[in-house]
Structure formats: C-alpha cells, structure tokens
Amino acid sequence: MSRDPSEAAGWGAGTRCVWAGEASLGPDGATVPPVYHGVTYGYDDMAEWKAVALGERPGHIYSRNTNPTVELFERKVQELEGAEAATAFATGMAAISDTLSALLAPGDRVVSITDTYGGANRIFTEFLPRLGVEVTLVPTHDAEALAAEIDRGCSLVYLETPTNPTLKVVDIARMAESARAVGATVVVDSTFATPINQRPLELGADLVLHSATKFMGGHSDAMGGVVAGSEALVGTIFRYREINGASLDPMSAFLLTRGLKTLELRVERQNANALEVARFLSRHPAVEAVYYPGLESHPGHEIARRQMRGFGGVLSFALAVGDVGDVEAVETVETVGTLDTLETGESGEAADAEDLVARFLGGLGLAHRAASLGSVATLVGPPSTTSHVELTREARARAGIPEALIRYSVGIENPSDLVADLERALGQIGVHA
C-alpha cells in the first residue's frame, strides 16, 4: 500500500483516520506532523506571494485564512466523509452559524426539525427571522410533515440525526430526495453519529457538519467544528469563514487530528458499550424509557439500520418518576456542584423529577457529571442543565424532553463497570417495580 493521497478513497475508515492527509513525513522526517503556530508566512518571491494570495497556487499567507495544521485536520475529515473538500472552525456552533450565514439571504426559506441542538435552534428561532429568513420547524418524528414542508419549496433543509438529547432518527435519503426536487441544499449535523457510523453525503446530503469538540477530538480537551461537501459549497463557506474569523486554532487542530487517529477504535467501543448499557437500562424497573436507536423498540431503529453502520455512543433514559417509593440514603454522594447539598434518607415521600435526577446523579461513582459528549470518559447529565438549559420546564415538555431524562454519553471504559455504576445509582433511588 502506498501513502499516495489519491489512494485514500479506497482505504478502510481506520486507515484513513491514521493516514489521510499525511502522504509524507513532516519536516526533518518528523513522524508526527508539527503544530504550525505561525500566524504569518513569508515569501522572497513577490510573484509567488501574489499567486498564493490569489489562490492560484497552494500555500499559506495568514492563519485566519489557512494554516497547515488546520489543513491536515480538514483533509482527514474530507477523506472520512468522502467529500471533495472540508473547512474547519473554532467551534461546532461556528460551523453551523457560518454555514447558514454563507448560504442564506433575506427572502430564503429554511425547513428544519424541532429537535436540533439548542444552539442551532436559537439561530432558527431568534437570529435567522431577524435577517428576513423564513424558518419552518417540523416535529422531528413526523417524516410526512417534514417532507411536505420541503415539497412546498425552500432553499435549505437543515437536519440533525440522531438528535440531541432524545436520539430521534431522521431519514436523510428521503429528505434529500424531496430537497433535490425543489433545488434545496441539504445540511446534516452528524455529530452524534461520526463519519464512522454515518456518511450523509452518500445518502444525498450536500453538506455534513460536526461539532469536532465531541467524538472527533474525543478527549474533551479541544473545541472545533468542521463542514464537508463539494468544492463549490465548501468554498463559499470558507470565503465567509475567513472574513468572519471563526478560524480553528492550530493547537486545537493538532489535538483534534490526534483524536481522529483513534476515531474508529473509540467509536466501535462506544457503539458496543452504549448498546450494552441501553439493554441493561431497558430491563431496569427504575427506568421508564430508554432512547437509543440501537434498540429494536426505538421508533427510528429501521431507518438507523439503513443509514448507520453503528448506533453511536450517546443514549438517554427517563427515570420512572411515578413509581418512586421508599428512598434509601445516598451514601456515595460526591461533592460535585450542588449534589452534596441534597437531602438524603427521606422515607415514603414521592420525590419530584428534579430531586430524583439529582439523587440518581449523586449515586453515580464512575460516570462524570458534566456537559458535552463523545469523550473517552463517560459523561452524564440532564438536558435541563446541559443541552436544553435555556428552555423552561414547560418548553422542555413541549419538546418531548421528560424532566427526569438523563443523557448518557458512553466512554471507552469497560462496560461491566459502567453497568455496575448505573445499577448502584438506580438501586439507591429506591424505585420499586
């Protein structure tokens, strides 16, 4: 096998994770590409400088525009998504907002779903309408209504699948077909799936984007975003981003690239761990519902089987609020946030959802109580303090997010330890079947 970049399309995903974009060794034969912290790049030859500045020759001028370390990250994502081009951003939200800003104009119409990530949802409900862009948000589970709204005509269809936090699955191929008929551009936030589990461009999407902060980096130590697709569309977004200035920092690009090298390994482990945890939870009497597309009972399971290679490392579950019985004292509460102030040891009183969630989280000894997802470490938290913190209790209920919902992003720990941790915490909330 050669490391000719033209071979990359034929490589397996694991090989692309390691080698894509790395045809040759770095300077001085370095086996790990260096971090180019330089902001500016010098030229002795004016003609060459001008040609690079005009984009007529490859090269770098100024790191807000392009940077070799950032470019390596972009090449890897491009190869993993099977795209012609990719461009990176400082955060996932920068990728989303720059993509929408670059492609939309007053008078355009966007069709999307109600379950997009909270930040994207705010762009749709607050920012785009202010700029004269009409936005129609369709209940995520209603594929007929979503297709019908696309059929009415629009310039952009924005999807996210699986969704945050209730893991709904949207049929990308079906919506892309409707979008093609009306000439709309389809953008898919595939953060929860990763390019290992889902390749939206193969399903007819025009652009795929990620919060690279999550699975791509995989270690909760760098923020970033990326969008991949055709040269033409990515070029339009790049030209907006280089002026808007939401460029990815080279040190973060280095960490994200290092994370990408193990993406396939991590995601395969997280897929397996999540399925095992989901199956355990779905049998537990203290759990009312489990939301994971890998479970046969999940309403999106069939579509997920068609469009995903694995079901991902994130799941959520609702604690059974109604059945709360005697409450055991929580003896393993750690001093994290406000959890140490919980009243424990009450008896015979039905705790409300918030109290139940707090007591459950307090009983976990292994999973890390924190926002975000996609890390090597299991991260757990309720949407009411993470993805949907801005929404009122009523708005969360309207969005179909139960108050006793827990989002659980499975890490690469041994699954038996995760299950034991969950079993202990569920046992302590004292729910009787």
Ligand X SMILES: Cc1ncc(COP(=O)(O)O)c(C=O)c1O
Least distance (Å) from ligand X to the CB of residue 13? 21
Nearest approach in angstroms of CB 413 to ligand X is: 21
Query: Mask: binding to ligand X, 190-219, rule CB under 6 A, as x and -?
Result: -xx------------------x-x------
- Alpha carbons 46 and 328: distance in angstroms, whole number: 76
Identify which of residues 225 and 250 has a Cβ nearer to ligand X in the complex: 225
The smaller minimum CB distance to ligand X, of residues 171 and 189, is found at 189
Q: Is residue 232 exposed (0-12), middle (13-18) or buried (19+ Cβ within 10 Å)?
A: exposed
**Residue of 14, 119, 337, 400 interacting with ligand X (CB under 6 A):** 119
280/422 Cα distance (integer angstroms): 9
Q: Is 225 in the site for ligand X (CB under 6 A)?
A: yes
Name the one residue in this structure whose structure tokens are 């995760």: 418
Of all helices (H) and strands (E), which one includes residue 42?
none
3-state secondary structure of 334: coil
123 lies in the site for ligand X, by CB under 6 A: no
Among residues 103, 133, 159, 223, the one that binds ligand X under rule CB under 6 A: 223
- Applying the rule CB under 6 A, the residues between 132 and 191 that interact with ligand X are 160, 164, 189, 191
In three-state secondary structure terms, 208 is strand
Q: What are phi and psi of 132, to 5 degrees?
A: 80, 20
The residue number whose beta carbon is nearest to ligand X equals: 92
Longest CA pairwise span in the chain (Å)? 82
386 vs 165: CA distance, rounded Å: 10
Side chain identity at residue 359, one-letter code: R
Whose structure tokens read 């095992």? 276
Least distance (Å) between residue 414 CB and ligand X: 26
Nearer to ligand X, 19 or 192 (CB): 192
Which of 36, 117, 292, 317 contacts ligand X by CB under 6 A? Answer: 117
Is 383 a binding residue for ligand X by CB under 6 A? The answer is no
| Distance of closest approach, residue 160 Cβ to ligand X, in angstroms | 6
Nearest residue to 273 (alpha-carbon basis) of 415, 423, 162:
415
- Rounded least distance, CB 223 to ligand X, Å: 5
Residue 164 or 271: the one with the smaller Cβ distance to ligand X is: 164
Is 211 or 273 the residue whose CB approaches ligand X more closely? 211
Active site residues: 64, 117, 189, 214
| Nearest distance in Å: CB 326, ligand X | 37
The conformation of residue 280, written as its DSSP 8-state character, comes to H
Residue 353 belongs to what H/E stretch?
Answer: helix 353-363
Find, among 388, 339, 387, the residue nearest to 360 by Cα.
Answer: 339
Three-point CA angle 369, 270, 197, nearest 5° = 125
Tell me whether residue 19 or residue 158 sits nearer to ligand X (CB atom): 158
Q: How far apart are CA 399 and CA 124, in angstroms?
A: 15
Give the shortest CB-127-to-ligand X separation in angstroms: 15
C-alpha separations of 58 from 10, 63, 66, 79 in Å: 25, 14, 10, 19
State the Cα–Cα distance between residues 104 and 247, nearest whole angstrom.
Answer: 20
Of 74 and 421, CB closest to ligand X: 74
How many residues belong to the site for ligand X (CB under 6 A)? 14
The CB density around residue 52, as the number of other CB atoms within 10 Å, is 18
**Residues of this chain, 68-97, that bind ligand X according to CB under 6 A:** 91-93
Residues that bind ligand X (CB under 6 A): 91-93, 117, 119, 160, 164, 189, 191-192, 211, 213, 223, 225
